[in-house]
Amino acid sequence: MALSLALSACNAPPSQPLPAASDVPSGTATPAAAATPIGPEREVLAFGDSLYAGYGLDRGQSLPAVIEARLRAEGINARVVNAGVSGDTTAAGRQRLAFVLDNMDKPPELVMLGLGGNDVLRQLPVAETRANMTAMLDELRRRKIPVLLTGMKAPPNLGPAYVASFDAIWPDLAKRYDGVLYPFILDGVIGDPALMQADRVHPNATGVDRIADRVAPLVRAALAKDTS
């Protein structure tokens, strides 16, 4: 049940799609002991649904904002552009990805791709989800942009066949496209009331911090690999 509720987190009322990729609002939460960022600005695009958009959180508490603040506190001059749209399915993401990329000031060095929760919530065919994710990864490969996938998992009540087929999408595609994979974005958070908002479906600020504990090092490592 907890996992079923988690998937509703991505089904918040849809916000107006961004006319272009924009920082909404990253970098507003700066740790007290932050180092001075050095070097050229490293741009990361966080492209996903409400779990990236920061639904129900205050300014600076979204996952992209927290990850940016952590990178900058370590002296990494990073800007994490928040292109999360609440309610987006993989089909909606597929439709807007190229537009968002085309309207950025410069190509990102890394794309965090986090979609799929609304697909499983609506029990869309797994083949459609896989096809949409594949199309987005094809677009990123064409542009030579590395990707970090934050995966989603199906609740067990949808049946073992659906669960096995759906859950396999992210590890399969990470291997195929040589992407970095964080298998389940809500791992270690869903089901813990202390880490969830009152609706019990969206992470609160503490929950986002817990997710960032695990995802920020992957972003850091991906950026380091890009310069090696």
Express each pLDDT in 147-202 by its tens digit: 999 999 999 999 999 999 999 999 999 999 999 999 999 999 999 999 998 988 88
pLDDT at 51 over 90: yes
pLDDT, tens digit, 9 for 90 and up, residues 116-127: 999 999 999 999
* pLDDT surpasses 70 at 29: no
Helix, strand or coil, per DSSP, at residue 142: helix
pLDDT at 10: 55
Number of domains comprising the chain: 1
- Which amino acids are annotated catalytic? 50, 199, 202
This prediction has a pTM of: 0.86
Cis status of the peptide bond prior to 25, with omega within 30 of 0: yes
* 77 has a pLDDT exceeding 90: yes
Which percentage of the chain shows pLDDT scores above 90? 78
Domain that holds residue 92: 2-227
At residue 228, does pLDDT exceed 60?
no
DSSP assignment of 79-122, as one string? EEEEEE-TT--HHHHHHHHHHHHHTSSS--SEEEEE--HHHHHT
Contacts of 8 (CB under 8 A, 6+ apart): 121, 201
pLDDT greater than 90 at residue 226? no
Between residues 20 and 179, which one has the greater pLDDT?
179
User: What pLDDT score was predicted for residue 199?
Assistant: 83
Q: List the CATH number of the domain containing 137.
A: 3.40.50.1110
User: What is the rounded average pLDDT of the residues 16-38?
Assistant: 46
Does pLDDT of 86 surpass 60?
yes
